[in-house]
Amino acid sequence: MTILGIETSCDETGAAIVQKDPRSSTLKIRKNILATSLDMHAKTGGIIPENAAREQLKLIIPVIKEAIEGIDPKRDIDAIAVTFGPGLIGSLLVGVETARTLSYIWNKPLIPVNHLYGHIYANFIENSTILLPALALVVSGGHTDLVLLKTHKDIKVIGSTRDDAAGEAFDKIGRLLELPYPAGPIISKLAEEGDPSSYRFPRPMIGSKDFNFSFSGLKTAVLYEVKKTKKLTSTQKKNICASTEQAIVDVLVRKTLKAAKKYEVKSILMGGGVAANNKLRESLKQKTKEQLPNAKFFAPAKELCTDNAAMIAATAFYRNTQVPWQIIKADPASYY
């Protein structure tokens, strides 16, 4: 079975070919092409949806062409999977309309995929050892969710953010520190040379009974700190980065472990751009080992944490709901 995946929910244009190895049942990536309009958004300090959609239009055909190079799509592809939401409507429409057209002209089944499931199923690429029930921490620019997978058909959200997402917190704090967008990876890099205990930033909702999160208070605390100082020295900046990262990681790790214990899961998964963060990966791995000896920790390769099309194709192997090309619809506000 071979699936062409298409991802255009935000500022990345992706097309990938993913195959299931018939002997081992492992999902293998044959091609994973990604073009990004990130440089352009760095200049504007964030994403202007209209610009992102125009870039998607420019990139989608060359990206798909590169993904299917060397194969005959009519013969070799079994289905087309495409992100239908959540995301920016203009960007989503580019992928959905392209997938719809290809489904019609190649006469292939069309599988709409929710982008958030994509972040979870990135864990299943090149990995057939994940046992259920599993708990997934989805941490992206727009979402911070704890998702319980009892089976591939029984999936529910047990907690999410009340305000800013973890990635959004990184990006907004980055703006306060005059760092380019997206600031998550830059804060993480600067944090390596900073002292995480130099500023005692709040860990909102870390002790709450539920599995929800809140990150807007952290952003406000950093704002006060930045306002106190006329011009931050490079050391101060690095220390703020390290202390911010530590606060976010502490909350995410504590709540994930608490939920994993309650639901007695066998696997802990991560997904979304923030899952590429080294400190978060290391910390969750270490604490799982110490506190949950019966559970295994998994994280996708870093390039599969941020948006990509391989995760969309991979999801379609597990959540294979086909729709006729006539009725597929982009849904910018869809959830799990």
- 54 burial class (0-12, 13-18, 19+ CB within 10 angstroms)? middle
Residue selected from 32, 91, 307, 325 as contacting Zn ion according to rule CB under 5 A:
307
48 backbone dihedrals φ, ψ, rounded to 5°: -100, 115
Instruction: Report in angstroms how near the CB of residue 115 gets to Zn ion at its nearest.
Output: 6
Instruction: Report in angstroms how near the CB of residue 275 gets to ligand KG4 at its nearest.
Output: 8
If one asks whether residue 14 binds ligand KG4 (CB under 6 A), the answer comes out as: no
Q: How many CB atoms lie within 10 A of CB 33?
A: 21
Beta strands in the chain (DSSP E): 2-7, 12-20, 27-36, 79-85, 110-114, 134-139, 144-149, 155-160, 267-271, 296-297
Contact predicate 174/190, CB 8 Å: no
Local structure of 176: helix, strand or coil: helix
If one asks whether residue 188 binds ligand KG4 (CB under 6 A), the answer comes out as: yes
Q: Which is nearer to Zn ion, 140 or 277 (CB)?
A: 140
Query: How many angstroms separate the Cα of 213 from the Cα of each of 132, 158, 249?
Result: 24, 11, 12
Determine the interface stretch with ligand KG4 among 155-163, 166-174, 200-208, 210-218 (rule: CB under 6 A).
166-174
Residue selected from 98, 140, 243, 267 as contacting Zn ion according to rule CB under 5 A:
140
Instruction: Report in angstroms how near the CB of residue 167 gets to Zn ion at its nearest.
Output: 9
Q: Which helix (H) or strand (E) holds 47?
A: none
If one asks whether residue 114 binds Zn ion (CB under 5 A), the answer comes out as: no
If one asks whether residue 121 binds ligand KG4 (CB under 6 A), the answer comes out as: no
If one asks whether residue 273 binds ligand KG4 (CB under 6 A), the answer comes out as: yes
Read off the amino acid at residue 158: I
Residue selected from 117, 171, 190, 241 as contacting ligand KG4 according to rule CB under 6 A:
171
d(CA 103, CA 75): 13
Residue selected from 5, 141, 159, 300 as contacting ligand KG4 according to rule CB under 6 A:
141
If one asks whether residue 306 binds ligand KG4 (CB under 6 A), the answer comes out as: yes
Name the residues that contact Zn ion, by CB under 5 A.
140, 307
Name the residues that contact ligand KG4, by CB under 6 A.
10, 140-142, 167, 170-171, 182-185, 188, 272-274, 276-277, 306-307
